């Protein structure tokens, strides 16, 4: 299949649908990453390890930013 044939079928509606699905996928990944960050924080708290807690907080903040950017992007 040639790229030119593929682009012919990719109208504006199709591109918007693909972009929307990609944003939802990245938002889901951001949410799951936040859950992993919470798990790292809890594990660090149980072990009294400040480095693990800080790493977990950093993961939570980064994934929350990713989640908000993906859901609030307008197009």
Q: Look-up: residue for tokens 């009294």?
A: 48
**The model's pTM:** 0.73
Shortest CA distance to 66 belongs to which of 20, 16, 19, 32? 32
Q: Residue 69's pLDDT is what?
A: 80
DSSP one-letter code for 10: -
- Angle in degrees, CA 3, 16, 10, rounded to 5: 25
Q: How confident is the model at residue 15 (pLDDT cuts 50, 70, 90)?
A: confident
Asked whether the CA dihedral 63, 29, 19, 68 is positive or negative, the reply is negative
Measured between alpha carbons, how far is 27 from 32 in angstroms, rounded to an integer?
9
Q: Residue 30's pLDDT is what?
A: 84
Q: Residue 11's pLDDT is what?
A: 79
């Amino acid at each position: 299949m040639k790229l030119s044939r593929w682009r012919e079928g990719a109208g504006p509606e199709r591109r918007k649908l693909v972009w929307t699905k990609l944003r939802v996928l990245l938002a889901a990944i951001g949410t799951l990453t936040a859950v992993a960050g919470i798990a790292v924080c809890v594990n660090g708290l149980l072990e009294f390890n400040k480095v693990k807690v800080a790493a977990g907080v950093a993961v939570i903040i980064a994934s929350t930013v990713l989640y908000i950017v993906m859901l609030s992007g307008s197009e």
